[in-house]
Amino acid sequence: MTETHRLLIALSSITLYVLWVAVIFYKCNKKRCATNVSTDKKNSTNVDSSDSKNQTLIVYASQTGTAEKIARAKAAALAESEAISLISMASLNIAMLGNVSKALFVVSTYGEGEPPDAGTRFYHALQRAKKSGATPLSNLSFEVIGLGSREYKQFCRFAVSLYENMRLLGGTPLTSLTTLDSGKGEHLAHLDSLAKDSSAQIQPWVLEHRKQLNQDDTRGLYAITLKQPQSAHENGAAPIAWEAGDIIDIYPDMAHEKEPSSEFLTKPLTKPLRKLIGRSYTIASAPEEDDLKLVVREVRKAKGELGYGSGFLTHKLLQNQRAYAQIRKNSNAVITDTQCPLVLIAAGSGIAGVRAQLAKRAMLNESGPVWIFYGERDSELDNVLSKALSPFHNAPCIHKTSTIFSKSSLGSATESKKYVQHMIVEQAEALKAFLSSSSGKTISSNSGKAPNSSKSINSDASPYTGRDGQIYVCGNFDGMGKGVDAALRDVLGEAQYSTFIEKRRYHRDLY
């Protein structure tokens, strides 16, 4: 064999090898591209595209979890006869509605006629689409169920607006608008099928412990611990589960009736429950603590009589006496990222939600830093923060606590009271740095021990650089809630404020 033959054989071998590698690369690249396209399609919509035109899309926009609960009940009821997709309005866009033939909306109205946080982005999208004059929803049939309270002038305002906008964009209503007054319990009839879920059943609890946290007997603040009786698990029922941010609905009247049968407690919620009046409270404990904790403000009416729910929990419910309640999922207030910087803001009994969020992080081996803002009335009578947060008041994850007392903030008779929202504005730069994903700055504490002060517990935030911060607010909507929201708009700026809502980094647990 000549040298030329050897060279030709070598070149042929190399050429065949290169072609073989090229074929393999082409096939792998084609497969990867197909996978990416499939993933993109899957991520772009929560609607199953295999037969989407025959699907019913159930959409919920909920601020405190009630609308979500009804939507899940509807989904469970319809799933036996229809193909169902269930999504939050936060994930919805108009194009998705074009892929289905039928949509059911269950929405609450927040504050004075506003959409819930989860519905804000879609609401603005509808407004833009309406201005275009197009009718992209001409093949869609829809139904709207609105939740609200007739105590507000703008009863079910968001549901009304949604219904009208869907019609203007070409949608065909299946029924007239349904509005439910949650304050009167009109929504309870829609929860029948949820009885299959143990967390949605009425369950017995017993009072294990109750302690007044403050020293003001005219407006007592109480820490309350409830425990499930052993008998609740005798029939094989699973332990009740909840998450930090969830709500418990208490039914005081049931405690004064004869012992309800196990059949009543496990059957679907129908006529008997509609007659009950409940009161809702944010759970103050993490499920890992086993016991369910509450922080309840004693309410007294004009003539001195106790409030219906608060009076029951703070005075009338006896040690080891049974109370009946059900857990309500409040997805809007559940924070899944435990490593990001977290700002917790509350006033008064809103410390309940703060305690639960703090407990969730404090019980982990590693968690992101927490900055707590808390407002109360009197520094001498209401200095309750450490007691309310115990045993997590010195948890390593607490980066800083900032407290203010409105009565003690008065420097003179002519000076205006200061509340927690004023403290947010005063610490605007430090707050923005703490929330920024690009910031690992140490936030210095204020010097001195004035009643309105900030205390830095763990100043090293650098391990959490690169994670976007989140905000959780718990308390009264009309007072603290509105003021804090305005302060955050001012501090963050309109664009960043909108980003926090759209990215679900702003969690409002207000009542």
Q: Read off the pLDDT of residues 414-460 as tens digits, 9 standing for 90 and up.
A: 567 889 999 999 999 999 999 985 544 333 333 333 446 666 655 55
269 has a pLDDT exceeding 60 = no
Average pLDDT of the residues of the chain: 81
DSSP state of 480: I
pLDDT bracket for residue 276 (50, 70, 90): low
Does residue 474 have a pLDDT over 80? Answer: yes
Each residue of 180-219: b (16+ CB within 10 Å) or e?
bebeeeebbebbbbbbebebbbbbbbbbeebeebbebeee
306 burial class (0-12, 13-18, 19+ CB within 10 angstroms)? middle
Window from 119-128, 190-199, 464-473 with minimum mean pLDDT: 190-199
Q: Which two tokens stand for residue 386?
A: 């450490």
Give the chain's count of helices (H) and strands (E).
Answer: 14, 18
Q: Which residue has the tokens 């004064």?
A: 256
Count other Cβ atoms within 10 Å, centred on residue 239: 12
CB neighbourhood size of 237 (10 A): 16
Whether 142 and 159 have beta carbons less than 8 Å apart is answered as no
Question: What pLDDT, on a 0 to 100 scale, did the predictor assign at position 194?
Answer: 46
Instruction: Say if residue 165's pLDDT is above 90.
Output: yes
Residues 306, 351, 327: CA angle, nearest 5 degrees: 75
Nearest to 404, CA basis, from 425, 376, 426: 376
| Single pTM value for the model | 0.72
If one compares 52 and 223, the residue with the highest pLDDT of the two is 223
Alpha helices in 288-447, H assignment, sequence order: 308-311, 351-362, 385-389, 420-426, 428-435
Query: Sign of torsion, CA 311 313 314 320?
Result: positive
Residue owning tokens 């210095």 = 444
Q: Give me the residues paired with residue 174 across strands.
A: none
* CA angle, residues 408, 410, 413, in degrees to nearest 5: 135
Residue with tokens 């029948």: 192
Any idea which residue has 């490593």 for tokens? 339
